[in-house]
């Protein structure tokens, strides 16, 4: 089944301990769509400026991504500039130029409205709600957000929480949003607010899944190569929803696998700047890394004899 | 087989968002020994002041802990006072009164020297080295440390690393010690320095095992009850070494299980202040929580059909 990704399309300027890159391809929708494209037919919608380099569109097309709903808008592409320090866990923003993002108000055509799997990447929750209201019988809707919206649009975000199947949120954001440091408690509150499932992204520490009846802790990966964390969460989301769309199986067991697939995709994305690692990524590497995740996290039950 | 635990015995004053407790039982050796005592015969050595309340010794004895090597020293018991803020990940020290810890220079008797499983809890690495030099044919030696020693006694700590089988260290400490934010790289450097295995304690995020040929990522536990993180790392270590001593099995599979047992014990320890939860802990609860860890972290391989 197919996937619709809606989010930002950006030109990033990123500095990490491993280098500085100017105006490189980025944006939440781009990272998510590239990741999803390894699994399922993927359509992307995002605000595109007149200055957006043709080579990036060529790259998206080469991954089979459907660009038919993408229209160049009058003005310049959204730009983010930031840096990461020593531990690279926290992005520090230097400059944000919203540009065409200010006028982004996606109108979905009839075909797009019927996409079964939808990921609303980080955007103004009011825009996310507008998109949700246009969808026709989606099988699964997942959404992401960020601290900025938690602070500035809490009410709209509550509405989003009520309307999505999977809310993706990182550790510090869920603590801020639900006003408790206790993540299981924060997740419980989000489920009570109406989310069907909550996925807590923990960066290098893995990811957690909370539903009313289930809990899953996806392991961390011992990441030796690590150059640029930008887009890790969106690569995770794209792999997660792409894999679910590919398999069409929403059992808990398959959702667990989807979290690992998401973790696998994020672990590749951060190995190089921008989408550079994803450009080189081969399908068999995904399966091999999934196996590594399994190997690295398996343990056997206690022997009854040894534990009387 | 039996376990020897050497570390501090303390009276702690602890403040967390859940309350403030004065002069409660604590210390690295106490937390580790209580945890180990659920699995194996455990002997404890640590600096004990004349003012140490008899009721705490009665409690240690009630857990079957061998106190024969424990001698009251002239002076007052070591005291630590600290607090935890909102997220409880970081202890903030208000006051440290070393007292009898200043004169602690453990001399092991002949029987104690032959203990097969030894845990050197957080202490001056020079004291740890003195203890190691007295051991006769230990089967396994594990050690812990802290940022204070990394800053002040780096050379001695290098010597400890060379001489132990398992180095237990937390995330921020391993980054500081090996001067890299990259934990797999930091662990590799410690293995190159001579450690046979490195266990990185990640608090609420679980734990990692690194050896030359193996990696294991122990999952986090969705901790709903969480009052006081003091002693979590030592409870982890005590459960880890106690379980290994009980089973006598040093295969990688069993070491993985030992990491989970350690995580289980830490998860109980933090449910209440001091050792209060451990006082109420029943053996069957340990097995049940181990099963929860397993249930919460299992996932199946990708279906070849779905991932062609």
How high is the pLDDT of residue A29?
Answer: 97
- Over the stretch B72-100, which tens digit does the pLDDT of each residue have? 999 999 999 999 987 777 889 999 999 99
Residue in the block written with tokens 């050896």? B211
What does the angle CA B241 – CA B209 – CA B133 come to, to the nearest 5 degrees? 50
How high is the pLDDT of residue A260?
Answer: 97
- Test the B interface: residue of A184, A185, A222 with most B CBs within 10 Å: A222
Q: How distant, in Å, are the alpha carbons of A167, B14, B204, B272 from that of B224?
A: 20, 20, 11, 12
Residues on chain B touching A175 (C-beta within 8 angstroms):
87
Average pLDDT over every residue of B53-74: 95
B303 and chain A in contact, CB less than 8 A: yes
How high is the pLDDT of residue B91?
Answer: 87
In this predicted structure, the answer to whether residue B306 has a pLDDT above a threshold of 60 is: no
Please enumerate in sequence order all residues whose Cβ is within 8 A of that of A227, keeping only pairs 6 or more positions apart, or say none.
Answer: A16, A18, A19, A270, A271, A272, A273
Average pLDDT over every residue of B147-170: 96
What does the angle CA B67 – CA B71 – CA B75 come to, to the nearest 5 degrees? 135
Cβ contact, residue pair B253, A301, below 8 Å: no
Average pLDDT over every residue of A116-123: 97
Give the phi and the psi of residue A198 in degrees, each rounded to 5: -125, 130
User: In 10 A of CB B95, how many CB atoms?
Assistant: 9
Query: What is the pTM for the complete model shown?
Result: 0.94
Cβ contact, residue pair A260, B181, below 8 Å: no
In this predicted structure, the answer to whether residue A152 has a pLDDT above a threshold of 80 is: yes
Residue B247 has its nearest CB partner, among A216, A290, A306, at: A306
Q: Which residue of A has its CA nearest to B244?
A: A306
How high is the pLDDT of residue B71?
Answer: 84
**Mean pLDDT of all residues in chain A?**
94
A206 and chain B in contact, CB less than 8 A: yes
In this predicted structure, the answer to whether residue A35 has a pLDDT above a threshold of 80 is: yes
Sign of CA dihedral B263, B265, B269, B275: negative
A18 and chain B in contact, CB less than 8 A: no
How high is the pLDDT of residue A85?
Answer: 85
B58 and chain A in contact, CB less than 8 A: no
**R_g of chain A computed on alpha carbons:** 19
Q: How confident is the model at residue A303 (pLDDT cuts 50, 70, 90)?
A: confident
How high is the pLDDT of residue A258?
Answer: 97
Q: Does ipTM exceed 0.95?
A: no
> What residues pair up with B140 in beta bridges, in sequence order?
B117
């Amino acid at each position: 089944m197919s996937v619709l990704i809606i989010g930002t399309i950006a030109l990033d300027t990123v500095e990490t301990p491993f280098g500085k890159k100017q105006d490189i391809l980025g944006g939440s929708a781009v990272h998510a769509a590239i990741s999803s494209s390894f699994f399922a037919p993927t359509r992307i919608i995002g605000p595109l400026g007149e200055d957006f380099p043709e080579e990036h569109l060529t790259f998206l097309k080469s991954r089979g991504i459907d660009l038919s709903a993408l229209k160049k808008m009058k003005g310049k592409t959204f730009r983010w500039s930031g840096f990461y320090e020593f531990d690279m866990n926290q992005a520090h923003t230097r400059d944000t130029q919203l540009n065409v993002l200010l006028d982004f108000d996606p109108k979905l055509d009839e075909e797009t409205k019927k996409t079964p799997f939808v990921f609303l990447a980080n955007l103004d929750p009011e825009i996310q709600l507008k998109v949700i209201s246009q969808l026709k019988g989606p099988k699964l809707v997942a959404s992401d957000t960020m601290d900025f919206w938690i602070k500035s649009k809490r009410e709209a975000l509550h509405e989003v929480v009520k309307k999505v199947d999977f809310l993706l949120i990182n550790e510090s954001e869920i603590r801020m949003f639900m006003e408790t440091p206790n993540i299981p408690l924060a997740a419980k509150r989000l489920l009570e607010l109406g989310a069907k499932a909550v996925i807590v992204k923990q960066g290098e520490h893995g990811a957690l899944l909370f539903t009313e009846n289930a809990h899953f802790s996806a392991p961390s990966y011992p990441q030796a190569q690590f150059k640029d964390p930008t887009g890790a969460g969106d690569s995770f989301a794209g792999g997660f929803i792409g894999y679910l769309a590919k398999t069409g199986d929403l059992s808990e067991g398959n959702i667990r696998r989807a979290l690992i697939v998401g973790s696998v995709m994020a672990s590749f994305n951060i190995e190089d700047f921008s989408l550079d690692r994803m450009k080189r990524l081969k399908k068999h590497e995904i399966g091999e890394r999934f196996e590594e995740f399994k190997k690295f996290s398996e343990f056997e039950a206690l022997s009854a004899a040894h534990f009387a």
